[in-house]
Chains A and B, each alone.
Chain A
Amino acid sequence: MWFILLLTGMLSVEAKTLEGQLIEKGTRKKLSDVKVFVLPHKLSALTDVDGKFVINDVPEGEFQWVVNQSGYIKYEQTDNTANPISQIYLEKIAYKIYETTVTSKAKKRDDATQTLTQEDFLMMPGAGYDPVKAVQNLTGVAQTQGAQIVIQGSAPDDTGYMVNQHQIPLVFHFGGLSSVVMPNAVESVDYLSAGYGPEYGRAIGGLVGLNTRSPKTDRLHGLAYLDIFNSGAMVEGPINSKQSFLFAARKSYIGTVLAKVLEDEEGFNFTVAPTFSDVTGIYEYKINENNRFKFDVLGSQDEMKFLISKPVSNDPNLRGDFYNRTEFFRLIPRFVHDFDAKSSLDTSVATGMDRIIVRLNNQYLDIKAKRITTRAEYRREVSPRYKFFTGIDTQSSWNEVEVNLPKVYNNGGVSDPFSSGSRAVTKIESNHGLYAAYIRNEIKPSEESKWTFSPNLRLETFEKTKDNLVSPRGNVRYALSESLNLRLASGLYYQPAQPQESDKNFGNEDIKPPKAIHVSTGFSKDFKGGSSDGFLWNSGVFYKKLDDLIIPSSKLVSRNGSLTAENYSNAGEGRIYGLENQVKYHYHDYTLTLAYTILKSTREEPGVSRHSSQYDQTHNVNLIGAYERGKWTYSTRFRYVTGNPYTPVSGATYDADNNVYIPIRGPIYSTRLNDFIQLDLRVDRKFVFDKWLLFAYLDIQNATNHKNEQQINYSYDYSQTQATTGLPILPTFGFRGEF
């Protein structure tokens, strides 16, 4: 009898097979090589590459899932074989700010380049998750309120901007709020300062370059965000096993916010609120092992229109409709061919158009420029001791410029009133070509040598000003130990004159390109000793000698047998030297970065003794800290920068023809604005759902509401002054969802 009962019982407990998939909660990442347990039956299985698992012989009835994986919250869930769950979502103990961040290794060829990967700039506090704003936290970059990157005491116009190594006209939207490419589509941002290599040129200060990334190929990904200034979305994924795509778009409504803020501002009405928008499209085709094709589409537009119903204080005639639109697009096909493991050819072309319209009543500037830039580089590792890179870098443009504007004299940062300038009305159609070829060598005396020598050369032609230029450059690196590197870099750099400076109506047809000699030396020391915690210290000094700088000229010169205004001359020169220090410290969940630059930037011109330049920011301190705990991240940035020099106005002369006073400038850049002090605070919170993630943040800029002077304004006769201050305390918030 007992035997019969036992047999009946055994027959009634049938074995089941459980199939499922283990997925990371929020990111939908498939987790492989993880053990999934079924208790109390002591059954288990290991997940495959797709996170899938199969567990056989599970007795019918209730059971418990258990997954205990390092880095994840232990998963325990009661289930029933009658209707078992098929997907298990495993939650991480700690999430980063952006889980969809692309992790890549910085690819840089020399020590004059600092590269921030997407992971770096998205995680950098105080940068608002923007790649170019993150660059503003690096050593040598001046504090500015506008849409500019000022490098190591140079002028804003001495900085070049690139996307995928091709020149773009601007890198920031209005007011520096955001860079012109969706940050999540950017793989890395390069910051090239004193002593940069031969691959680039036409910028005597330095360059900032954005590099777009390859679209993801594992599955479809999406992202959307919304904050008080703008919103955007991005989608990417595979088309098939060889092809993938990414598309991103953003649109701002900052103008609507500003218009509301300025609603009660007497005399100022936005008729078209300032807006910006941009799109980024990327298509990639991995043709085979040796050939890759990538196609980038970039477009950016900024637009605003407002009515100044009440004139500005020092120019009573300046009133009416102001309109500005700035837009550009680029199509950038790129083909990379690997001949073998040691040699490759990388070719790309960028075609596109730039358009700028500025209009104030019947005065206007309208620029249309079609552009083609090409780059091709052949790389070869001849031996373990010798590598070379040689290539071409060209820019061609076809420009149509229509202008009806006064030529306004501006010196020492003090501009004569707009109404006092002599009028220039013209339509210009011109073609410009900038052509360059370069070679970079990397030589080691022996395979084991601690020395690396890079004698480099760049040859350039500036077609418009008929200049053929030779720019020798080079750097030396010495690896004193595994954790300590010493470096030295130097080079000669040329930059074409701005279009208005070399134009026969507005400028000087005989103008020459300004040039600079850079020298920089320094070291980097890693104190971490292989651990993830500890210090990194990077320090260096730099020196730049600037010659043939283009400055405004009030001379009359003989040209084609007639006396005419010179407008600009090459009579300026400058010297800049400084010390940069960057210390990074990481300990568990804490990171701390100190970037400190001390520099002296001076200029000299005929009749004016050596003086500080506009961006002579003696001390520039950035202290950035972050603490991550679970789903929370707390970050802060503190900035202290010596106030910018400005030129005082000592008096004014009444221009009876134009009803304005023309300022009489005191000693050039002899006085300073107050020191810039700003504390920013930010809290980020992540919400993890099974199939997507939601981020929310609260950002408080200028938390102490420090009144930072930005510029000096004058009364109509320049007898009274008043400083315009920057942003007051500005709390903002936003949301972002990802899958």
Chain B
Amino acid sequence: MKTLCLLITIFLLNSCGEDTFKKAFKLQSLRVLAVTAGKNGALTQAEFDPGDTAVVTVYVSDVEFAQTVTGVIETCSDPGVSYGKEASCENVADRNTSIANITLNTASVSGRTGAMPSFNVTIPNTVLLGRSTADQFNGVNYLVTIRVSTPDGQAIRTFKRLTVTTRTTKNTNPTLGTILFNGNAFTSYPGEGDLSLSTTSTEESYQFQSAGGEITNLTEQLNIAWYISDGELSLPVTKRGEVTRFKPGEKGTLTVVAVIRDGRGGMEVAVKRVP
């Protein structure tokens, strides 16, 4: 209880603090925006069986410098990222470094933001071996780590969990339509107004098994992360159906990115460039 009091105090302090930090929604230098994964042959499926092959795609942005982005990929069993281990395959026994590097020249894609070439990851058959029934049901992660970098020395380390589960109903990637301004499609630099999505999928229900074996029915929560290359946003993350208020900047060109996530590893990306 005392720890709880401490957490609440810290949370309040965090919430009340007036910060001058750079904004998470602003696209400027090198950023990784999303890493999507789907089952090879059934790309909407976001969870996997042992032995499946996943198709993985990294979305990056380098609006200011428009450089070639290189990605170095490694895969391994999750060393325990949620429990405090560093998200790295470096000291993991089944580390796999055989996947070829990927590159994207951001100068050649619209809005200097886009998908790097997809690559395949084959999940070992042994991932679930020795794990508890609850872990196997809720999912054991196989980790994909990517180090993206640019020639000027910028570098970001990112990772994606490929969730391997015995669930019969696997999670699917959420979907999203096009990005709208004040509810309409737009082709020129907008004034002040609301950004939203034409369509999105709805929340899926799923089951969670506790260590004691009890099953709880849960519903996932869809969040949409917004990124812009110019101007301001009222909300960097919205819930499904919510809008975020855009205030224009001075650049005259705008890249808008929306990434929908279901909180269970499923995600999809939409990119819009005007004019």
- Chain A positions within 8 Å of B, measured between CB atoms, are 145-148, 156-157, 159, 169-170, 175, 262, 265, 268, 306, 308-313, 316-317, 319, 322, 324, 326, 354, 356, 358, 361-362, 365, 404, 406-407, 409, 411, 415-416, 419-427, 498, 504-505, 552-556, 558-560, 562-567, 651, 653-659, 662, 664, 710-711, 713-717, 719-720, 722, 724
Contacts and interface: CB of A to CB of B under 8 A. Distances in A.
B119 interface: no
Interface stretch (B175-183, B189-197, B213-221): B213-221
A268 B16 contact: yes
B221 A361 contact: yes
B130 A653 contact: no
Nearest to B146: A656
Contact of A422 (B11, B82, B218): B82
Contacts of B8: 324, 358
B87 interface: yes
Contacts of B17: 313, 713, 722, 724
A559 B134 CA distance: 13
Interface string B10-33: 110111111111101000000010
B13 A654 contact: no
Nearest to A158: B2
A657 B1 contact: no
29 contacts: A157-B2, A262-B16, A309-B235, A310-B234, A311-B235, A322-B11, A425-B208, A425-B216, A426-B210, A426-B212, A426-B216, A505-B212, A554-B79, A554-B80, A554-B85, A562-B132, A564-B211, A565-B80, A654-B159, A656-B34, A659-B237, A659-B259, A659-B261, A662-B81, A713-B17, A714-B21, A717-B24, A722-B21, A724-B13
B42 interface: no
Interface string B79-95: 11111111110000000
A178 B261 CA distance: 43
A565 B211 CA distance: 11
Nearest to B215: A425
The 9 A-B residue pairs with the shortest CB-CB distance, nearest first, are A715-B21, A562-B132, A656-B35, A422-B82, A554-B84, A716-B24, A654-B158, A409-B84, A426-B210
Contact of B237 (A316, A422, A559): A316
A316 B35 contact: no
A562 B132 CA distance: 5
Nearest to B139: A422
A567 B2 contact: no
Most chain A beta-carbon neighbours within 10 Å: one of B83, B88, B259: B83
Contacts of A419: 263
B5 A147 contact: yes
Contacts of B32: 654, 656
A656 B237 contact: no
A707 to B, nearest CB: 13
B32 to A, nearest CB: 5
Nearest to B234: A310
Interface in B194-253: 208, 210-212, 214, 216, 218-219, 221, 223, 225, 234-237
Contacts of A362: 219, 221
Contacts of A717: 24
Given A362-B221, A564-B131, A147 B1 contact: no
Contacts of B21: 313, 714-716, 720, 722
Contacts of A147: 5, 9
Contacts of A159: 2
A309 B158 CA distance: 28
Nearest to A406: B82
A170 B1 contact: yes
Interface string B124-144: 000000111101001000000
Contact of B135 (A358, A409, A421, A562): A562
A146 B88 CA distance: 36
A567 B135 CA distance: 14
B83 A146 contact: no
Given A411-B84, A654-B156, A724-B13, A311 B1 contact: no
- SS class, residues of chain A in contact with chain B: strand
Contacts of A406: 82
Given A316-B225, A421-B82, A654-B157, A560 B132 contact: yes
B80 A311 contact: no
A403 to B, nearest CB: 10
A562 B131 contact: yes
A717 B87 CA distance: 15
A613 to B, nearest CB: 15
B3 interface: yes
B161 interface: yes
Nearest to A157: B2
B83 A553 contact: yes
Contacts of B133: 562
Nearest to A656: B35
A713 B19 contact: yes
Contacts of B81: 420, 655, 662
B50 interface: no
B82 to A, nearest CB: 4
Given A426-B216, A713-B13, 14 more contacts: A156-B3, A262-B16, A311-B237, A361-B221, A409-B82, A419-B263, A425-B210, A426-B212, A555-B83, A658-B263, A711-B13, A715-B22, A722-B19, A724-B17
Nearest to B80: A554
Contact of A148 (B2, B210, B235): B2
Nearest to A563: B130
B213 to A, nearest CB: 10
Contacts of A148: 2, 5-6
Given A157-B3, A316-B24, A656-B35, A426 B211 contact: yes
Nearest to B156: A654
Contact of A664 (B9, B86, B259): B86
A422 B267 CA distance: 18
Contacts of B79: 554
Contact of A145 (B4, B9, B221): B9
Nearest to B35: A656
A416 B82 CA distance: 9
Contact of A653 (B84, B158, B259): B158
A515 B221 CA distance: 43
A158 B156 CA distance: 40
A75 B1 CA distance: 57
Contact of A658 (B2, B10, B11, B261): B261
Contacts of B35: 656-657
B160 interface: yes
Contacts of B16: 262, 265, 268, 724
Contact of A146 (B1, B6, B14, B156): B6
A659 B31 CA distance: 12
A425 to B, nearest CB: 5
B2 A552 contact: no
B3 A310 contact: no
A601 to B, nearest CB: 17
Contacts of A407: 82-83
Contacts of B259: 659
B76 to A, nearest CB: 14
Contacts of A313: 14, 17, 19, 21, 24
B10 A711 contact: yes
A311 B6 CA distance: 20
Interface string B152-165: 00001111110000
A146 B81 CA distance: 30
Nearest to A159: B2
B158 A146 contact: no
B1 A722 contact: no
A564 B133 CA distance: 10
A564 B85 contact: no
Contacts of A358: 4, 8
A713 to B, nearest CB: 5
Nearest to A354: B1
Contacts of B80: 554-556, 565
Nearest to B155: A651
Nearest to A274: B12
